[in-house]
Amino acid sequence: MFSGFLRKEREKRGISQERLCRGVCAVSALSRYENGERIPDRLLMNTLIERLGKSSDKLVTMISCQEYAYFE
């Protein structure tokens, strides 16, 4: 699921929530995304992935069926 990927990659790189979301979303929103309580829109999801040094081209392999349905 994207939420697990997001937290794992952020922590692996030693990036704080504040730094990752600076200028794109609130820390409280990022926390909800990481906890799986909410799903960010596709633009925000791509931005967060790219800030983590990953390619958003492979986004579909990281999201759950529920998240995929949300974007369809």
Please name the residue that has the structure tokens 């992935």: 49
Q: Domain ranges for the chain, please list them.
A: 2-71
Cα torsion through 37, 4, 56, 17, rounded to 10: 70
pLDDT score for 8: 92
How is residue 33 written in tokens? Answer: 């995304």
Question: Domain 2-71: which topology?
Answer: 434 Repressor (Amino-terminal Domain) (1.10.260)
Collect all residues with Cβ–Cβ distance below 8 Å to 47 and sequence separation of at least 6.
Answer: 24
pLDDT tier at 55, thresholds 50, 70, 90:
confident
The model's pTM: 0.77
CA angle (45 as vertex; 43, 48 as ends), nearest 5: 110
